[in-house]
Amino acid sequence: MLFPLFFQLSGGIYYNVNAITDSGGLVSKLPLPISVIACLLGMLALARNYRQALPAAVFIGSFSALMLVSLLFAGADQPMQQRKALIALQFLLPTMGLVLGQLVSDKENIVPKAFMWVLLLLVPAQLLAGWWQKTLTLTHNLYLFSIYQHFQFVPVIFVAAFCFVMVHLWEQHRTALRFLTVVMGIYAIASASFLAIGLYSAFVIAFFVRKMWQLKTGRLIGFILFGTGIVAAGLVIGLYYGIAKTNTSIIDDNGQYLGKFQTLADGKMPVNLEQRLGDWKLFYDGISESHHTMLLGHAEPLPREVKTSAHNWYLDFVYSFGLVPLMPLLALMMFTAVLLYRSRKTLTGQTWWLAALVAFMVLIDSNFKVTLRQPYPGIFAFFIWGLLLTRLRLPEPPQRGG
């Protein structure tokens, strides 16, 4: 579910010396994550728990049916567009993660343990590989394979997995997780992702403040140590930025790092945010063309040569399929919120943390990227959403910390 190994239907394991890959809209050339295979095998292995996945089945069934309505009627007299049908499959594919998440009853914390070992193995390796290749930012090239979308999507998923691991395993693996906390901080900075840096910073502050509050003894020492950690993190960020600004030869990120941080330091709007505002206006104008396009979307998505996405899952989806097919996702959000409210007095801290992570992925990250449409981040986001729904519908396991 987490390991960023990709394969292509046209040629085995994905490996590309170039950081950016354009599939040209061809499924055979699109790098697909092994989490697709993991979902299929997991659903077959856990099929006996099918009753737990009823909410996922209802959601996917209604989601598919209403997208089909858009495919059939959005174009009035026009025939169904093949490209729109392929995009519908892109939106549907990640939802298999929701099914698998609901089939899993992880009472032994196997999932966070697996995530922890993946992070301990890959994050230091990716940082070392980048330094060996003389770049301070993340490298996509791990020699044995390449990480697809190593700037756009993978860093946020890795940081989210780190948060998941911390709240479940801190009490049992403190030494390893102290090391991972430091390494993930460097990783987040090297990712040049505002969302990854923001999620990491907000989580680490909230998590350790809560831990110190729970201990209640030695609070002053705890706050001093915590403050020292914040100062050290600030120094690392300053060092990273200072080196990057004065020595651009060690920045090989297609403008990701300097294009964001240098413009921000100069008091200007970051390039990526400026582009997003333009993309959002373009898609919003298309959505609001008429009541028909607002409700059922357009007969055909925007041409790839104009824009490949809105950098916002909701605008992207509504432009192509309309508000009507969006209703099942909104209903699933409401269903989750109702379950949280009903169980609020009995939920463990771990479940509340998980709910916050799901909210971040669905409500924040997906409003700046097409997270739930891309296979790798989408499957992960739906998977942890499924885990949350399982916990809200089944008796809570004994809390081990977090």
Domains: count for the chain: 1
Mean pLDDT of the chain: 84
pLDDT in tens, 122-138: 999 999 998 898 887 88
Q: What is the reported pLDDT for 269? A: 66
Q: Which of 51, 4, 68, 80 is nearest to 328 (CA)?
A: 68
Task: Say which residue, 328 or 401, is predicted with more confidence.
Answer: 328
pLDDT of residue 115: 97
Domain-located, residue 401: no
Reduced to 3 states, what is the DSSP secondary structure of residue 54? helix
Separation of alpha carbons 329 and 372, rounded Å = 11
Tell me which of 18 and 248 has the higher pLDDT.
18
- At 333-344, the pLDDT tens digits run 999 999 999 998
**Domain presence at residue 400:** no
Written as six digits, the tokens of 85 are 């049908």
How does residue 1 score in pLDDT terms, banded at 50, 70 and 90? very high
Q: Model pTM greater than 0.75?
A: yes
243-295 pLDDT tens trace: 555 555 555 555 555 566 666 666 666 666 777 888 888 899 889 988 888 99
- The range of the structural domain enclosing residue 325 comes to 6-393
398 in a structural domain = no
State the pLDDT confidence band at 86, using cuts at 50, 70 and 90.
confident
299 closest CA partner among 88, 70, 67, 90: 70
Q: How confident is the model at residue 73 (pLDDT cuts 50, 70, 90)?
A: confident
CB count in 10 Å sphere of residue 59: 23
- 8-state DSSP, 347: -
Is the pLDDT at 384 greater than 90? The verdict is: yes
How confident is the model over 204-217, as a mean pLDDT? 74
Q: Which residues pair with 32 in a beta bridge?
A: 7
Q: What is the pLDDT of residue 209?
A: 76
Beta strands in 47-116 (DSSP E): none
Q: What pLDDT sits at residue 151?
A: 80
Q: Name the one residue in this structure whose structure tokens are 């010396």.
A: 17
Could you tell me the two tokens for 195?
């969302």
Q: How many CB atoms lie under 10 A from the CB of residue 346?
A: 9
CB 39 within 8 A of CB 47: no
